Amino acid sequence: MRIDQIRGAQLYQPFRPFTLHLADGRSFLVDHPEFMLVSRDSRTIVVNDVEGNIEIIGPMLVTSLTVPSGQPESPHE
Protein backbone atom coordinates (compact mmCIF):
# COMPACT_ATOMS: atom_id res chain seq x y z
CA MET A 1 0.00 0.00 0.00
CA ARG A 2 1.01 3.59 -0.47
CA ILE A 3 1.77 5.57 2.66
CA ASP A 4 -0.72 8.28 1.61
CA GLN A 5 -3.52 5.67 1.71
CA ILE A 6 -2.53 4.67 5.24
CA ARG A 7 -2.30 8.30 6.36
CA GLY A 8 -5.64 8.98 4.70
CA ALA A 9 -7.29 6.30 6.82
CA GLN A 10 -5.72 7.78 9.95
CA LEU A 11 -6.85 11.32 9.13
CA TYR A 12 -10.29 10.46 7.71
CA GLN A 13 -13.07 12.53 9.30
CA PRO A 14 -15.02 11.35 11.08
CA PHE A 15 -12.41 8.77 12.07
CA ARG A 16 -13.26 5.14 11.39
CA PRO A 17 -11.28 2.33 13.02
CA PHE A 18 -9.29 0.25 10.54
CA THR A 19 -7.00 -2.77 10.46
CA LEU A 20 -3.57 -2.88 8.87
CA HIS A 21 -2.74 -6.29 7.36
CA LEU A 22 0.92 -7.23 6.94
CA ALA A 23 2.66 -9.52 4.47
CA ASP A 24 3.59 -11.94 7.30
CA GLY A 25 -0.08 -12.50 8.20
CA ARG A 26 -0.20 -10.26 11.26
CA SER A 27 -2.81 -7.52 11.55
CA PHE A 28 -3.18 -4.50 13.78
CA LEU A 29 -6.36 -2.66 14.70
CA VAL A 30 -6.07 1.12 14.79
CA ASP A 31 -9.12 2.09 16.82
CA HIS A 32 -8.16 5.73 17.39
CA PRO A 33 -6.07 8.06 15.20
CA GLU A 34 -3.68 8.82 18.06
CA PHE A 35 -2.72 5.14 18.34
CA MET A 36 -0.78 5.24 15.07
CA LEU A 37 2.16 7.39 13.99
CA VAL A 38 3.80 7.73 10.59
CA SER A 39 7.37 8.99 10.85
CA ARG A 40 8.35 12.25 9.15
CA ASP A 41 10.28 10.40 6.47
CA SER A 42 7.36 7.96 5.91
CA ARG A 43 9.68 4.97 6.44
CA THR A 44 8.15 3.78 9.70
CA ILE A 45 4.68 3.25 11.11
CA VAL A 46 4.28 2.88 14.86
CA VAL A 47 1.07 1.28 16.14
CA ASN A 48 0.01 1.10 19.77
CA ASP A 49 -2.18 -2.02 19.82
CA VAL A 50 -5.22 -2.72 22.01
CA GLU A 51 -3.03 -4.47 24.60
CA GLY A 52 -0.75 -1.44 24.91
CA ASN A 53 2.13 -2.97 22.95
CA ILE A 54 4.12 -0.88 20.47
CA GLU A 55 4.71 -2.31 16.99
CA ILE A 56 7.16 -0.72 14.58
CA ILE A 57 6.22 -1.54 10.99
CA GLY A 58 7.81 -0.84 7.64
CA PRO A 59 5.10 0.57 5.34
CA MET A 60 6.21 -1.75 2.53
CA LEU A 61 5.00 -4.68 4.68
CA VAL A 62 1.42 -3.38 4.74
CA THR A 63 -0.50 -5.34 2.12
CA SER A 64 -4.00 -4.03 2.79
CA LEU A 65 -6.15 -1.92 5.03
CA THR A 66 -9.70 -2.86 5.98
CA VAL A 67 -12.49 -0.83 7.48
CA PRO A 68 -15.35 -2.71 9.21
CA SER A 69 -18.52 -3.17 7.14
CA GLY A 70 -20.87 -0.24 7.05
CA GLN A 71 -17.92 2.10 6.64
CA PRO A 72 -16.28 3.30 3.42
CA GLU A 73 -13.49 0.98 2.25
CA SER A 74 -11.28 3.73 0.86
CA PRO A 75 -10.89 7.11 2.52
CA HIS A 76 -9.55 8.51 -0.78
CA GLU A 77 -12.57 7.82 -2.94
d(CA 42, CA 1): 12
Specify whether domain 3-66 bears CATH 3.30.70.120.
no
From first to last of its 77 residues, what are the pLDDT tens digits of the chain? 999 999 999 999 999 999 999 999 999 999 999 999 999 999 999 999 888 999 999 999 999 999 987 655 455 44
d(CA 15, CA 54): 21
pLDDT at 69: 78
Amino acid at 59: P
Burial of 56 (0-12, 13-18, 19+ CB in 10 A): exposed
Q: Would you kindly state where each structural domain of the chain is located, as residue ranges? A: 3-66
Which residues lie across from 21 on neighbouring strands? 27, 64
